[in-house]
């Protein structure tokens, strides 16, 4: 009787399989919801906000201290921020640099410092001491003249090393022209300027910018919230509030028509081409997800249109890409770039503008949209394995005015982007008609043809700059 039952069950299962239509691809299911641990928070009297995400899967902990300041203009002291950042983490007022580094190494921990951030990670058995060292180095820094002079020399030597770098020149000039040399994002360091900066200037920048008013400490890992609250309260209690930072610099503007801004680099064997324009984009904007996908299609990687056109089709370059950034503090940028052979510099400019124009004028294909979403979703899901990702998510929710379900619904929002959305945001943010085309290259080989470049029937004017954007 048992054999008859199993025979009937086997025949039924074969019948069910036979009824499956394998000629059509199954429909995709709904986007999975991302389940992130809900953080616990508290705020110290000095304004430091602490975000704790307990994760007991591995015996590790990560601390990320971030200063959410607006861009800070340095003026004739440009470089003081970099010098201040380089002096942080070199011991403290209570522990020497060598003893500090020795103890960090003993615990197998990692620490990193900058002018407006500090981070540390290591085994959770050392969680209390790691946090204590991080706090001590960050808020009681050991600013010495000896270390200052070492860091100043290193920074100046770095500038000398980049003196003949075509990519460095193009990047520096592109930022200065896009934002203006008096804007925090357009400022750049020079050897002459760095030589005039003193230890007092570095301290002044630190005291101005490294303040708890706008600070967030994100803790992720195998820790207990009550312990973190006790440790942070003890370690950061001496951190004093500072004056609020202003955000009143002039608003930069796009050019009214395309222009080529050329920097002559006689040593260049390739030209660095950067096509850019200013945008207004925040993470909280409704356009945020459509813009991510539109940029992915245009130049987000090896499958992007710029890469396929300039490298795979024309062989102008090893790679061509685009990017777009967001900021709650004002204008930011869309940029497309590549390092191209000298003889095709002019043709590359045309290719960039044509691809930008194409995604603005013609709807993308359903296949392109589907592939872009799949790549973006895959990258997002893989990033969830890193504690730094969880820390960034928690911080973004606090600083970017995001809804509580922003990351839980992230994938569904990506998958909701339509063909019409892509074309709409491409027209709004990828502004070929208002593009600054910054080129650093060998003038004797590329200028003759560059001065003949036309776009939509009009010759694009060429303007000439040195490496300091004069």
Q: Are domains 40-235 and 259-465 of this chain identical in fold?
A: yes
147 vs 90: CA distance, rounded Å: 9
The closest of 276, 283, 292 to 333, measured between CA atoms, is 276
Asked if 279 and 429 count as a contact pair (C-beta separation under 8 A), the reply is: yes
pLDDT digits (tens, 9 = 90+) for 47-99: 999 999 999 999 999 999 999 999 999 999 999 999 999 999 999 999 999 99
The helix or strand, by DSSP H or E, that contains position 50, with its residue range, turns out to be: strand 49-54
Asked if 322 and 449 count as a contact pair (C-beta separation under 8 A), the reply is: no
278 vs 293: CA distance, rounded Å: 19
When mean pLDDT is compared across 3-17, 46-60, 157-171, the lowest value belongs to 3-17
pLDDT digits (tens, 9 = 90+) for 186-220: 999 999 999 999 999 999 999 999 999 999 999 99
Band the pLDDT of 16: cuts 50, 70, 90.
Answer: very low
Band the pLDDT of 384: cuts 50, 70, 90.
Answer: confident
Superfamily, domain 40-235: Metalloenzyme, LuxS/M16 peptidase-like (3.30.830.10)
Average pLDDT rounded to a whole number, residues 369-376: 93
415 vs 459: CA distance, rounded Å: 41
CATH fold of 259-465: Cytochrome Bc1 Complex; Chain A, domain 1 (3.30.830)
Average pLDDT rounded to a whole number, residues 250-260: 96
135 has a pLDDT exceeding 60: yes
For the chain, domain boundaries: 40-235, 259-465
Place of tokens 């580094």: 101
253 has a pLDDT exceeding 90: yes
Whole-model pTM: value is 0.89
Band the pLDDT of 10: cuts 50, 70, 90.
Answer: very low
Q: Output b/e per residue, 380-394; b: 16+ Cβ within 10 A.
A: beeeeeebebbbbbb
Band the pLDDT of 294: cuts 50, 70, 90.
Answer: very high
Band the pLDDT of 443: cuts 50, 70, 90.
Answer: very high
317 has a pLDDT exceeding 70: yes
Average pLDDT rounded to a whole number, residues 8-27: 52
């Amino acid at each position: 009787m048992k054999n008859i039952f199993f025979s009937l069950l086997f025949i039924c299962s074969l019948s069910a399989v036979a009824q499956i239509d394998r000629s059509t691809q199954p429909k995709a299911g709904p986007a999975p919801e991302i389940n992130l641990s809900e953080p616990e928070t508290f705020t110290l009297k000095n304004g430091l906000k602490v975000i704790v995400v307990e994760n007991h899967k591995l015996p590790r902990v990560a601390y990320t201290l971030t200063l959410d300041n607006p861009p800070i203009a340095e003026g004739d002291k440009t470089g003081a921020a970099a010098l201040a950042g380089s002096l942080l983490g070199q011991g403290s007022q209570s522990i020497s640099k060598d003893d500090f580094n020795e103890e960090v190494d003993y615990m197998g921990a990692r620490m990193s410092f900058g002018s407006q951030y500090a981070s540390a990670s290591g085994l959770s058995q050392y969680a209390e001491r790691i946090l204590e060292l991080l706090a001590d180095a960050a808020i009681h820094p050991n600013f010495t003249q000896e270390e200052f002079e070492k860091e100043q020399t290193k920074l100046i030597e770095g500038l000398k090393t980049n003196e003949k770098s075509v990519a460095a020149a193009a990047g520096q000039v592109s930022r200065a022209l896009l934002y203006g040399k008096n804007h925090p994002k357009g400022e750049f360091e020079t050897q002459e300027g760095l030589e005039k900066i003193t230890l007092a200037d570095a301290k002044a920048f630190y005291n101005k910018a490294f303040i708890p008013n706008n600070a967030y400490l994100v803790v992720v890992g195998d820790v207990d919230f009550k312990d973190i609250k006790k440790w942070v309260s003890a370690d950061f209690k001496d951190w004093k509030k500072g004056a609020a930072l202003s955000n009143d610099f002039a608003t930069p503007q796009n050019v009214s028509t395309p222009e080529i801004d050329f920097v002559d680099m006689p040593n260049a064997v390739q030209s660095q081409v950067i096509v850019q324009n200013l945008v207004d984009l925040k993470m909280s904007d409704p356009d945020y997800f459509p813009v991510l996908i539109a940029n992915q299609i245009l130049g987000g990687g090896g499958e992007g249109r710029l890469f396929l056109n300039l490298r795979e089709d024309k062989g102008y370059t090893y790679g061509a890409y685009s990017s777009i950034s967001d900021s709650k503090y004002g204008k930011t940028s869309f940029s497309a770039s590549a390092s191209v052979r000298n003889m095709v510099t002019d043709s590359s400019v045309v290719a960039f503008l044509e691809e930008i124009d194409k995604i603005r004028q013609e709807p993308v294909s359903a296949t392109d949209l589907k592939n872009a979403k799949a790549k973006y979703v895959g990258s997002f899901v893989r990033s969830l394995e890193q504690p730094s990702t969880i820390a960034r998510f928690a911080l973004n929710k606090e600083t970017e005015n995001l809804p509580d379900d922003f990351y839980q619904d992230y994938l569904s929002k990506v998958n909701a982007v339509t063909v019409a959305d892509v074309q709409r945001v491409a027209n709004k943010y990828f502004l070929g008609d208002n593009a600054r085309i910054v080129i650093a290259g060998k003038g004797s080989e590329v200028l003759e043809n560059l001065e003949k470049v036309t776009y939509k029937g009009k010759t694009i004017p060429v303007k000439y700059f040195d490496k300091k954007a004069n």
